[in-house]
Amino acid sequence: MKRLYYRIDKCLGCRSCEIACAVAHAGEETLFCAIKQKVLPRKKVYFFEGKNFPLSCLHCKEHPCVDACMAGALVYDKEKGLVIHNEERCVGCWICVMVCPYGAIRPDINRKIPVRCDKCKNKDEPACVKACPTTAILWQEEDFLLEVKK
């Protein structure tokens, strides 16, 4: 089960990942389409104390958003390590935004729907990983963190 990790020392804050994310989730997957449809990136880079921190849904093992969803629109797929958002069932009540411990679910007020990382589910690698010019975004198996510690 692969997850997204970030090397803070490598992130320049260029926001290529944000653009790639918006493009990947636009109808025709073009920049033009993303701009025209006002697609909100599911990832955001935050700047704090001289460093850049990319952030998107962590697909937590404990997932308060899934528990709290009053519309039954969120399901956790244990095998894929993925919180799946069923947009058909979502009513835009913002409960998931209210309970996300990372502030990683973004309210798209215009479309009245929360947007969150889906790990680009149909692709072999998330678009943000491909787009990062400095390899600050890592797409790794979970035990990768153990290796880092060593």
Contacts with other proteins, residue ranges (CB under 8 A): 3-8, 44, 46-49, 51, 53, 55, 58, 60-62, 64, 67-68, 70-72, 88-89, 91-95, 97-107, 109, 112, 138, 145, 148
d(CA 144, CA 82): 18
Question: What minimum distance in Å lies between the beta carbon of 32 and other proteins?
Answer: 27
d(CA 69, CA 91): 10
Choice between 5 and 37, CB closer to other proteins: 5
What are the C-alpha distances in Å from 65 to residues 26, 91, 109, 135, 150? 24, 14, 18, 30, 33
Q: Which two tokens stand for residue 56?
A: 């998107």
Question: What minimum distance in Å lies between the beta carbon of 65 and other proteins?
Answer: 8
Question: What minimum distance in Å lies between the beta carbon of 135 and other proteins?
Answer: 12
d(CA 91, CA 107): 12
Choice between 32 and 46, CB closer to other proteins: 46
